[in-house]
Structures are given as C-alpha cells and as structure tokens.
Amino acid sequence: MRAVIQRVTEARVTVGGAVIGEIGMGAMILVCAMQGDDDARAEALAAKIAKLRIFRDEDDRMNRSLLDCGGAALVISQFTLAADTSRGNRPGFSSAAAPADGERLYEHFTRALAAQGVPVATGRFGADMAVSLVNDGPTTIWMEA
C-alpha cells in the first residue's frame, strides 16, 4: 500500500457540497491499495503511520506521533498514487488494486488505524471528493508498505 501523509492543522472532505469527514490537528492521509496488497500490509502501514514522529515536541523538533499528540486522521482513498509515468504523458494506473479489493483494503486500513487509537474520519471510496486542508509546516511524507 502507498500513502501520502500531510501534517495538518485542519482538513475536511466534501461530496456533493456536504462535509462527510473533518478533523482538526492531525494528519490527512491519502492511501492507495496496490495489486498484491493484503490485510497484513494495510495493518503494517496503519501501525507505522500511527507511530510516525512528524509532530513537534516542546523543543520544536519532529518527535511526536499522532498517538503522542492526540491528533486525528482524515483518510482519503487515492488510486492515483499508483500512477506510472514512465511512458508517455498519460499516467497508467494498472498497478492499483482492482476497485473491489481497493475498497476492502481502504476500509481495513481505516479500521486498523482506529484500532491503533487514532480518531479517524474518512472520505467516500470512489466518490468525486473535494478535499481541503491546511498543511502544517508544510510537512508531507510519502510511504509504502
């Protein structure tokens, strides 16, 4: 699985003009299931993100995790993280998991992150979403598990 994690002071996602997910301080996580991914990879990525030390401590160093600082996560499915741009100008997405597998793994990831103790808000798998956020830092981390 692939993820882009952005440290935020706030983030929200809307579908059709209605807010369906919103957080204050924490992380906005774009996540993509790849072909061959399984529940164990989703769980490993969730555990790593929950403990990822990207939040400031009292000395202004990135030394605290979502768990340490009580932050929340807004998790958005993002199949375009599977983009292959190695040939031509149009990205290919054939390495992304099939939609049914992608949705199942996205939901498993969100449950695994919540099981780590992180409050989780979500987008809607496969929907046309509008995501807004205030990136804190800016701090943006790309991960793969």
Q: Active site residue: 6, 35, 55, 80, which one?
A: 80
Q: Active site residue: 78, 110, 116, 122, which one?
A: 78
Structure tokens at 93: 């997405």
Candidates 53, 51, 62, 3; CA nearest to 28 is: 3
At a CB cut-off of 8 Å and minimum separation 6, what does 40 contact? Answer: none
Has 80 been annotated as catalytic?
Answer: yes
Q: What is the DSSP string of 73-141?
A: EEEEE-GGGG-B-SSSSS-B-TTBPPHHHHHHHHHHHHHHHHHTT--EEE--TTS--EEEEEEEEEEEE
Has 79 been annotated as catalytic?
Answer: yes
Has 93 been annotated as catalytic?
Answer: no
Q: Active site residue: 79, 109, 116, 122, which one?
A: 79
Please tell me the chain's helix, strand, coil percentages from 3-state DSSP, rounded to the nearest 5.
Answer: 25, 40, 30
Question: Which positions are catalytic?
Answer: 78-80
